[in-house]
Structure 1
Amino acid sequence: MPNGYTALKRAQKDVDPKWTKKLGKGHFSYKLYANIDKRHKLVRKVIITHGAVADTTVFEDLLDPSNTSPDLYADRGYPSTEQDATLTGAGGRVHIQRKGSATKPISQTQKQHNMRIATPRARVKHVFGAMRHMGGKLVRCMRIVRATFALNLKTASYNLQRLVYLKKRDLPAF
Structure 2
Amino acid sequence: MSTFFNFAIKDEYRRFAQQGNNLGTLSSLIDWERFRPLLSDLYTNTEGKGGRPNYDVVFMIKLMVLQQLYGLSDPQLEREVYDRLSFRHFLDYPTKIPDASTIWLFRERLIKTGKEELIWTEFQHQIDQKGLTIHRGVIQDASFITADPGHAPADTPRGKDAKTRRSRDGTWAKKGSKSHFGFKLHILMDKEHQLIRRMATTPASVHDSKIDLSRSGETVYRDKGYFGVKPCASMDKTMHRGVRNHPLSTKEKRRNRAINRIRPLVERPFAVMKKVFRAGHVMVTTCARAHIKCLFSCWGYNLKQLQTLKRWPV
Q: Which residue of 2, 16, 36 maps to 2:189?
A: 36
Distance across 2 between alignment mates of 1:135 and 1:23: 23
Provide the secondary structure at the position in 1 that maps to 2:225. Answer: coil
Q: In the TM superposition, what are the counterparts of 1:71-110 in structure 2 within 5 Å?
A: 71-80=219-228, 83=230, 86-87=232-233, 92-110=234-252
Following TM superposition, by how much is the alpha carbon of 1:21 offset from its aligned partner in structure 2, in angstroms? 1.1
Q: Is the 8 A contact 2:239 2:255 kept in 1?
A: yes
Superposition TM-score, scaled by structure 1 size: 0.78
Q: How many Å apart are 1:11 and its aligned residue?
A: 3.8
Partner of 1:142: 285
Among 21, 27, 32, which residue is 2:174 paired with? 21
The Cα offsets for residues 84-124 of structure 1, whole Å up to 9 and x where unpaired, read as 6x53xxxx221110011243321222111100000110111
Which structure has the larger Rg? 2
- Aligned mates of 1:150, 1:132 — CA distance in 2: 12
Tell me, what secondary structure is at the counterpart of 1:128? helix
Instruction: State the superposition RMSD in angstroms.
Output: 2.4
Deviations 1:16-51 (A, max 9, x none): 011211113222220110010000110000100001
Equivalent of residue 63 in structure 1, options 185, 208, 214: 214
Report % sequence identity: 26
Report how many residues are paired: 155
Task: Indicate the SS of the match to 1:53.
Answer: coil
Q: CA deviation at 1:148?
A: 0.7
Tell me which moved more, 44-53 or 120-129.
120-129
Which secondary structure state, in structure 1, belongs to the residue aligned with residue 308 of structure 2? helix
TM-fit CA distance, 1:14: 3.0
Please tell me whether residue 124 in structure 1 is matched to residue 266 in structure 2. Answer: yes
2:310 aligned to which of 160, 167, 174 = 167
> Which is worse superposed, 97-106 or 153-162?
97-106
Point out where structure 2 has 5 or more consecutive residues left out of the alignment: 1-154
Greater helix proportion: 2
Deviations 1:59-78 (A, max 9, x none): 1xx1246xxx8221011122
Long gaps (5+) in structure 1: 4-8
Contact 2:156 2:167 survives alignment (8 Å): no
Deviation readout 1:139-169 (Å, 9 max, x if unpaired):
1222111111111111100001111111233
Q: 1:155 aligns with which of 291, 298, 306?
A: 298
Match of 2:199 among 30, 39, 46: 46
